[in-house]
Amino acid sequence: MTRRTSLHLPARTARCLRSGAVSLAGVFLLCTASLADGGAAQPLPGTWQSHKYTFQFMGFTSTYSCDGLADKLRKLLLAAGARPDLKSEPGACASGFGRPDKFARADLTFSTLVPAEGGGAHTVMGNWRSVVFAHHSPRDLGLGDCELVEQFRSQLLPMFTTSNIVNHTTCIPYQESGSTIDLQFDAFSAVPAKKRPAGGGG
């Protein structure tokens, strides 16, 4: 898991960035760019950092099949800014495909973007993007996934470069009624590639 870097910065700048393995120069570039012009920042260089993690669901309200858990985690990772080639696969589970398992687990292999100093052959351009996890955001996220979101926040979100995390998620064990999914943050993510015009000539 990525180790957090503790820096003594002015309050507004300190809130600008929470990330792992980031140099002071990288923090300065990202924070000053994101605070300039009302938060409209120019894309900045970044590099991909690889992660491998076995995620075991520990909630009470919902019971997932291992393939169902892997599918949910894939959608959350993509929404948070993981590279699209991620792998989220069912772990070693006693139940068969599609059958609920109280000890459901998934094996995750994914990459997240971290700031880089200067350009280079392996750098990609990134910028800050607002992410919201809520009921139906992503589309398939339901109140029964409340505890999954909380576990994602505590175990997987620290592997991303994030800022301005606001969490008002409230999960009531064994019932969906009264539970609320409300997790918001800014993520340093790769700038989407521009689509080429259809039928472009040479």
Q: What angle do CA 98, 59, 176 make, to 5 degrees?
A: 90
User: What local confidence, expressed as pLDDT, does residue 15 receive?
Assistant: 41
- In tens, the pLDDT along 108-167 reads 999 999 999 876 778 999 999 999 999 999 999 999 999 999 999 999 999 999 999 999
Total number of domains in the chain: 1
List Cα–Cα distances, 190 to 38, 43, 109, 118, in angstroms. Answer: 21, 9, 18, 16
Domain assignment present for 145: yes
> Of residues 83 and 94, which shows the higher confidence score?
83
Q: Which of 21-25, 79-83, 103-107 has the weakest average pLDDT?
A: 21-25
Domain assignment present for 202: no
Domain assignment present for 113: yes
Residue 59 clears pLDDT 80, i.e. is over it: yes
Domain assignment present for 106: yes
What gap in Å lies between CA 135 and CA 146, rounded to an integer? 9
Write out the residue range of the structural domain in which residue 95 sits. Answer: 15-190
What gap in Å lies between CA 14 and CA 23, rounded to an integer? 14
Domain assignment present for 62: yes
What's the average model confidence in pLDDT over 53-78? 96
What gap in Å lies between CA 23 and CA 38, rounded to an integer? 24
- In tens, the pLDDT along 14-51 reads 444 444 444 444 444 444 344 434 455 789 999 999 99
User: What local confidence, expressed as pLDDT, does residue 92 receive?
Assistant: 86
User: What local confidence, expressed as pLDDT, does residue 94 receive?
Assistant: 80
Average pLDDT of the chain? 82
Residue 4 clears pLDDT 80, i.e. is over it: no
| Nearest CA-CA partner of 126 in 15, 33, 25 | 33
User: What local confidence, expressed as pLDDT, does residue 122 receive?
Assistant: 83
Q: Tokens 């990288």 — which residue?
A: 26
> Of residues 195 and 36, which shows the higher confidence score?
195
Handedness of CA 68, 73, 79, 82 (dihedral sign): negative
Domain assignment present for 3: no
What gap in Å lies between CA 69 and CA 61, rounded to an integer? 14
Domain assignment present for 111: yes
User: What local confidence, expressed as pLDDT, does residue 196 receive?
Assistant: 61
Residue 80 clears pLDDT 90, i.e. is over it: yes
Residue 198 clears pLDDT 80, i.e. is over it: no
Domain assignment present for 26: yes
- Hey, is 40 helix, strand or coil? coil
- Torsion angle defined by CA atoms of residues 188, 111, 1 and 4, in that order, rounded to the nearest 10 degrees: -20
What's the average model confidence in pLDDT over 41-66? 94
Three-state SS letters, 95-144? CCCCCCCCCCEEEEEEEEEEECCCCCCCCEEEEEEEEEEECCECCCCCHH
What is the model's pTM? Answer: 0.77
